[in-house]
Amino acid sequence: MARPEHDETKLPKYAQNELKRLRHDLARAKRTLSAGPEDSNTFADPYMDRRPLGKDEVIEFVLGPGTDNKIRVCVEGDSINLSGGTALQIEARASNAFSIRIKPWLA
């Protein structure tokens, strides 16, 4: 809803039409992104704008500078595999949640 100080009805018709077109294009793009591949089992931002990424995609998280500060996650069959550029440390957070962090090699 337009705020009073941004009343679009006061704009020229060509500007109103362009705004309408842009909103339509944005809505279509969001629908396209949320549809994704039909067999997708990997999703970005599953709690908000669920976006399918494809089937058995490998996701890489970069946790800081350097080549070893990466964690890769992928689905293989009925399991999820994780690997890192160096040792990984797993910390329980709850019975259904845990944290994974990079653990530097000891010198």
pLDDT digits (tens), the chain, 107 positions: 545 567 888 899 999 999 999 999 998 887 776 666 666 666 777 677 777 777 788 888 887 777 678 888 988 888 889 988 888 889 999 999 999 888 876 65
4 falls within a domain: no
Contact 88, 98 (CB under 8 A): no
Please tell me the total count of domains within the chain: 1
59 falls within a domain: yes
Range of the domain at 106: 53-107
CA dist 19 and 107 (Å) reads 59
CA dist 48 and 61 (Å) reads 19
pTM (predicted TM-score): 0.52
CA dist 45 and 51 (Å) reads 7
86 falls within a domain: yes
Contact 55, 39 (CB under 8 A): yes
99 falls within a domain: yes
